[in-house]
């Protein structure tokens, strides 16, 4: 098995899937979200937040780049680095990536050089049907914990 793949047919289905995956996350997990504008990265992030027990509503931290939520099962750091001035900009990334929370990065490919090797990669792709294909690729040693044989 190399990761797991899902198809969702609505934003709510994406949130529910993300919420179920989030229940399996552990301190130090870093989720790198890839996908075009409108793919559903923020929608997925909303599901993760809910799955971690965060009640607050989540939108894209487009201008602040990083938002921290402390009230869930684990601290949750939500990043959207689309507007980062330069890929070299240092915003204290390691504090998040190697901390005790769960970090989720929208447009992760823009901070390639800062990302840890141990990444849960999530790619969201818009299907012609209007649905979304969501591919989850955890590090090998976490594959069983996150993918559970492909069942979400």
Instruction: Please give the residue ranges that form the binding site for ligand ADP (CB under 6 A).
Output: 8-11, 13-14, 35, 37-43, 60, 106, 131-132
Which among 93, 53, 94, 92 has a CA at the least distance from the CA of 76? Answer: 53
Nearer residue to Mg ion within complex by CB, 15 or 41: 41
Strand order through the sheet with 102-106: 4-8, 132-137, 120-126, 30-34, 102-106, 76-80, 66-69
| Closest residue by Cα to residue 115 from 26, 3, 30 | 30
Instruction: Choose from ligand ADP, Mg ion, none: what does 51 bind? Cβ within 5-8 Å by kind.
Output: none
Q: By CB under 5 A, what part of segment 42-61 binds Mg ion?
A: 42, 60
Name residues contacting Mg ion, limited to 91-130 (CB under 5 A). Answer: 106
**Candidate residues 41, 50, 78, 110; the one interacting with Mg ion per rule CB under 5 A:** 41
Residue nearest to ligand ADP (CB): 40
Please report, to the nearest 10 degrees, the dihedral formed by the alpha carbons of residues 124, 126, 127, 128 taken in order.
-170
* CA angle, 21 then 24 then 28, to 5°: 110
Which partner in Mg ion, ligand ADP, none is near 101 (CB below 5 to 8 A by kind)?
none
Both tokens of 109, joined, read 């490919």
Cβ-based nearer residue to ligand ADP, 53 or 131: 131
- Contact between 132 and Mg ion by CB under 5 A: the answer reads no
Give me the residues that bind Mg ion (CB under 5 A), please: 41-42, 60, 106
């Amino acid at each position: 098995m190399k990761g797991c793949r899902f198809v969702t047919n609505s934003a709510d289905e994406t949130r529910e899937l993300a919420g179920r995956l989030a229940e399996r996350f552990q301190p130090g997990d870093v989720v790198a979200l890839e996908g075009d504008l409108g793919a559903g990265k923020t929608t997925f992030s909303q599901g993760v937040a809910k799955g971690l027990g965060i009640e607050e509503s989540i939108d894209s931290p487009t201008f602040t780049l990083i938002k921290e939520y402390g009230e869930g099962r684990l601290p949750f750091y939500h990043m959207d680095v689309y507007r980062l001035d330069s890929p070299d900009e240092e915003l204290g990334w390691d504090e998040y990536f190697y901390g005790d929370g769960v970090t989720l990065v929208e447009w992760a490919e823009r901070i390639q050089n800062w990302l840890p090797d141990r990444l849960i990669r999530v790619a969201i792709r818009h299907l012609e049907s209007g649905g979304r294909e969501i591919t989850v690729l955890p590090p090998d040693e976490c594959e069983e914990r996150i993918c559970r044989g492909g069942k979400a």
